[in-house]
A = this chain, B = another copy of it.
Amino acid sequence: MEERKILLNDSEIPRQWYNILPDLPTPMNPPLHPGTGKPVGPQDLAPIFPMNIIEQEMSTESLITIPDEVLDKYLLYRPTPLRRALNFEKALKCPVKIYYKDESVSPPGSHKPNTAIPQAYYNKVFGIKKLSTETGAGQWGSALAMACQMFGLECEVFMVRVSYNQKPYRRLMMMTWGANCTPSPSERTQAGRNILAQDPDCPGSLGVAISEAVEYAVTNKDCRYSLGSVLNHTLMHQTIIGLEAKKQFEKIGKYPDVVIGCAGGGSNFGGVSLPFVRDRIHGKKVSIIAAEPTSCPTLTKGPFAYDFGDVAKMTPLLAMYTLGHDFIPAPIHAGGLRYHGMAPIVSHLLKKELIEARAYHQLDTFEAGVLWARTEGFIPAPETTHAIAAVVDEARRAKEEGKEKIILFNYSGHGLVDLASYEAYFAGKLSAYELPDDEIQRALKAIANHPACIER
């Protein structure tokens, strides 16, 4: 019998996260202070993050020990299974073995708790009592709500109002885990009040919600802000995914030829791939592919530039591929991939050609997702269907090339509370949207006009 699941026991869970910074062939461009244009120091970030997380963000240690208290919570759902998609392989009829790291098994159903849990822990030990954050569709907010509950922290989530009203399930998860969830814009912050004064019916946006969450953190005692992706420490926490996968491949004496993840802010992609990028830097032959939507083609169409992480221009300037901080992607169903920028680490790796990027439109991704659901059973999140579309693409290329390949991809989450997107797909309401060239030109111009933009 061919094993469908490669499992690790609790005692085999990795005890350290992997930090890629010291392994990079050339150093990354540092984040810049938007006022001075100079690299930000730890003190610049202190009102927003606790110092122990800031130290992780800037650490040059290769391996960082996972605290026992974090391991204890990880073990509620980790190590996650590495599964073989035998039925999906049969349907594709291509010369590939497909393995997937199943991050959908966490309580909220995605990879997000991998960084929510350590962030809650480090804030707790730093003496923080409350975390604030923003959330769009609710994946990140629900993960942080759970993590805060586990460490006895309060949790304030500002949720984009239109999602708050239309997507109740993740809001209800946050409630069940004891978080306070406020539709944004709200009357609770100056940023929110300003917007409501202009437009009382404002549906909200991620940019507005970030502004509210950051303002809430800096104006409330013993409160800090928490971010679910993009930053170095979030990717580092997520490397538990790739580190476990490597152990699991070792168990069966195999190694992937291709590693695939979908990329929005970059955390699940970085999580699965960075330990394999390390091998590649050290000479191993492995292709690493980020899959993004054609409606938000940050890596495939954006320039590499210094840009703000948020619409409200409150973050430091980050060196990254970006479509411009004021870019608003089309309302595709993969909400977690609708981000104008990309993690600086992922951006740096693409720039250095250590990874590749490909864009897929949502008709292709849902087609791949439905084939997956009908062969493997599990219904993938809309974000995850982008990774599956890339797997199909790679499998067909392998067939054309007449090569046998082992593919690993990150199954970042399940779609059980995103089923309305499948309904829209079956009803023929989705389009194969690609961002038009003039939109891209407009985005590039916005960045070029910014004084901090460094290169194209």
Most buried by B among A149, A169, A376: A169
Interface size on A, residues (CB 8 A): 44
Whether the Cβ atoms of A373 and B176 lie closer than 8 Å is yes
Report A298 CB to chain B, min CB distance, Å. Answer: 29
- Residue A5, interface by CB 8 Å: yes
Task: Take A75-B4, A377-B146 as given contacts and tell me if A422 and B10 are in contact as well, using a CB distance cutoff of 8 Å.
Answer: no
Is A202 part of the binding interface, using a Cβ–Cβ cutoff of 8 Å?
no
Give the shortest distance, in Å, between A377 (CB) and chain B (any CB).
Answer: 4
A376 to B11 CA separation, bound complex (whole angstroms) = 19
CB distance from A252 to the nearest CB of B (A): 11
What chain B residues lie within 8 Å of A420 (beta carbons)?
Answer: 168, 172
Contact (Cβ within 8 A) A377 B417: no
| Residue A435 at the chain B interface, CB threshold 8 Å | no
Contact A107 B176 (CB under 8 A): no
Q: Which of A413-445 contact B (CB under 8 A)?
A: 416-417, 419-420, 422-423, 426
Q: Tell whether A3 is near chain B: CB-to-CB under 8 Å.
A: yes
Set of chain B residues within 8 Å of A109, measured between Cβ atoms:
416
In the complex, how many angstroms separate the beta carbon of A116 from the nearest chain B beta carbon?
11
Q: Give the contacting residue for A177; candidates B107, B146, B176, B373; CB below 8 A.
A: B373
17 sample A-B contacts, Cβ–Cβ < 8 Å, listed by A number = A1-B10, A4-B75, A5-B75, A76-B87, A105-B105, A107-B379, A113-B377, A146-B377, A149-B374, A169-B417, A172-B419, A172-B422, A172-B423, A175-B426, A176-B373, A176-B374, A176-B422
